[in-house]
Amino acid sequence: MTKKIITPENNTLAPADAKVVVIPGVKMSISLGKEVVIRIPGTEQSYRGKIVGFDPYEYVIANVRLPSRIRQELAFGGQIVLKYIHKGTVYGFKTTVHNAITSPTSLIFFDYPSTIEKIELRRKERARCSIDGALHSSDGAHDCLVVNVSETGCKISARAGNRDTISTTQVDDTLFVVMNLGADGTLKLPIVVRNMKREKGILTLGAMFLDITKEEEKRIVKYLARVQRHTR
């Protein structure tokens, strides 16, 4: 069954250029340690976390560090949007939080979803560019260069020696990329690695944006239009 695409202003889980298929929550493919991206509806910031527990059809527990204000609000209930990647496909759902704690570690407890959106992104041609950026992993930030980009993904080049933690990156890992778009500002977006290559100390990642709003898409489109005007 396909579903009408809903714009981010109407609480979408998917970017505008996507096909969304609704599937039953019983088909949710998660496991302990699964990396997820969490967004609070109405905010722009995304947060990385990991699934640390679940009871099928009842509840899920995620380890995620949230700002104290948001965590306190969620401790009394509230909604989150959660996305994850499985075998190269993005899945997402909205759910209700029942509690958020900080001890013994930062955890949120939320409902097991009744339905999930399977998000099939249409491929868009990527434009060559040279954007200064940074890759953020659990071990810190690493300088990088974004060498092509579209509204759905990008290619990233970074120097990675054998001792650099980023050299252990694998396909399906989730990271954050920060892109300096000059006059169009800075974007920080969660990405999932779709393919990768290591050669002579350079790590090249083909990545898909895991969570992007309509406004963020517009900023990328504006940047690409500006690049095209000055490179024709």
Number of domains in the chain: 2
Q: What is the pTM of this model?
A: 0.68
The boundaries of the domain holding residue 82 are 13-121
CATH code for the domain of 19: 2.30.110.10
pLDDT computed for residue 28 by the predictor:
85
Q: Are residues 19 and 40 in the same domain?
A: yes
pLDDT category, 7, cuts 50, 70, 90? very low
When pLDDT is averaged across residues 214-222 and rounded to a whole number, the result is 88
Q: What is the pLDDT of residues 110-148, one digit of tens each?
A: 999 999 998 766 566 788 888 999 998 877 889 999 999
CATH code for the domain of 172: 2.40.10.220
Q: Are residues 114 and 158 in the same domain?
A: no
Task: Give the residue with greater pLDDT, 71 vs 1.
Answer: 71
When pLDDT is averaged across residues 94-121 and rounded to a whole number, the result is 90
Angle at CA of residue 135, ends 155 and 208, nearest 5°: 40
* Closest listed residue to residue 181, CA positions, set 149, 203, 158, 211: 149
Task: Give the residue with greater pLDDT, 7 vs 129.
Answer: 129
Q: Are residues 155 and 203 in the same domain?
A: yes
Q: What is the pLDDT of residues 221-231, one digit of tens each?
A: 888 888 777 66
Q: Are residues 28 and 110 in the same domain?
A: yes
In this structure, of 18-27, 56-65, 72-81, 186-195, the range with the lowest mean pLDDT score is 18-27
Domain end marker among 94, 121, 148: 121
7 lies in a domain?
A: no
115 strand-pairing partners? 24
Task: Give the residue with greater pLDDT, 73 vs 61.
Answer: 61
8 pLDDT above the threshold of 70 = no
Q: Are residues 25 and 65 in the same domain?
A: yes
Q: What is the pLDDT of residues 143-194, one digit of tens each?
A: 999 999 988 899 999 998 777 778 888 888 889 999 998 888 899 999 989 8
